[in-house]
Amino acid sequence: MRSAALALLAGLGGCVALAPRAAVALDVERPEVRSFIDDVSARNHLDRAWVARIVGAAESKSSVIDAMTRPAEKVKPWFEYRAIFLTDKRIREGREFLAEHRALLESVAERTGVPGEIIAAIVGIETSYGRLTGHYRVLDALATLAFDYPARAAYFRGELEQFLLLSREAGFDPLTATGSYAGAMGAPQFMPRSYRAYARDGDRDGRIDLWNDWPDIFESVAHYFAANGWHRGEPVCAPATLWYPDVEGLPANRLDVADTIGTLRARGVELDSLLPDDAPAMFIALREADAPSYRVGFHNFWVITRYNRSAMYALATVELAAAIASPAPDAEAAPAPPGATRR
């Protein structure tokens, strides 16, 4: 749904990008563009002239294609992937961010069951706590990928349609909205379809702004998880070890919960958990710098993978959340400020 998720797909080999090498105006007389305008207008009862004007204002950008075709980040081993997101700077800024927004995050957590540090970790990973939301015009990114990136054209034409509908519903200018090279928007980097489905008006002011309005941003991320089945108060994952050195036949990092804690234990996976043996679970194998390590993800881990289809992304979210929720090493003995709640 978001740029980080799409970046994982960007390096799939064998896809030939047909985009021009420079930014050029999208030709609305191209048969596939004209057909898109006709279909979207008719299907959604939109004024065809308006749709044609907006789509015709798009530029096809080679820089978008270049970004999509970089080597996929999913080829990185865990210890390199982790180092990207769990930096001292991101953890320090996350603690400051959590402290600044503690009351609001705790209110959202109480209402939805999604911990505030998980919500904060998501926006920390996606956009460095809302600072880096992308500099591409969303219209240009989506139009480029919809019509000049055959490997994912159908998906992005759907997202371009959703973006047009969203701009009408949310009342923002489709010609000026900015986001990632994949068209993801705001601090949580929602794609247009997810924006329409999951974004919420957290401060009840009658509009939803995922770029600048923290109540809307926090409520929307929490709603995304809640709508995908987040279980209040349940653990997300646990460290694991193996009784047997040979793990052949034990699938790792599948983004489903076909196993249970009991079936994994029966196959040689040792872990500590208060969840029952019939609780859904997934086995996660990770490449560290010197030796492999293992985790078992529970239902809430699977929910995080709905945000980004990557076990490593989900684990980075969990570890960043734990890091920013813990006291800074030089502040462990300091008294809590008035009104603060120790975690």
Q: Which residue from 170, 169, 146, 168 is spatially nearest to 157, judged by alpha carbons?
A: 146
Is 126 tagged catalytic?
Answer: yes
Helix 78-85 with 311-325: angle, nearest 10 deg: 40
Q: Which tokens belong to 335?
A: 């008294």
The Cα angle at residue 201 between residues 197 and 203, in degrees rounded to 5 = 165
Three-state secondary structure call for residue 279 = coil
Q: Which tokens belong to 153?
A: 């054209």
b/e map of 207-238 (b: 16 or more CB within 10 Å)? ebbbbebbbbbbbbbbbbbbeeebbeeebbbb
User: What are the helix (H) ranges across the chain?
Assistant: 3-9, 31-44, 48-56, 62-68, 78-85, 88-100, 102-112, 116-127, 138-148, 153-170, 192-198, 214-227, 261-266, 299-307, 311-325
DSSP letter for 240, please. Answer: E
Note whether 124 and 93 are within 8 A (CB): yes
The Cα angle at residue 34 between residues 33 and 39, in degrees rounded to 5 = 100
Note whether 50 and 165 are within 8 A (CB): no
Q: How far apart are CA 37 and CA 32, in angstroms?
A: 9
The Cα angle at residue 7 between residues 56 and 82, in degrees rounded to 5 = 150
Computed over its alpha carbons, how large is the radius of gyration of the chain? 22
Give me the catalytic one of 117, 126, 159, 161: 126
Q: Which residue from 149, 151, 143, 129 is spatially nearest to 14, judged by alpha carbons?
A: 151
Residues labelled catalytic: 126
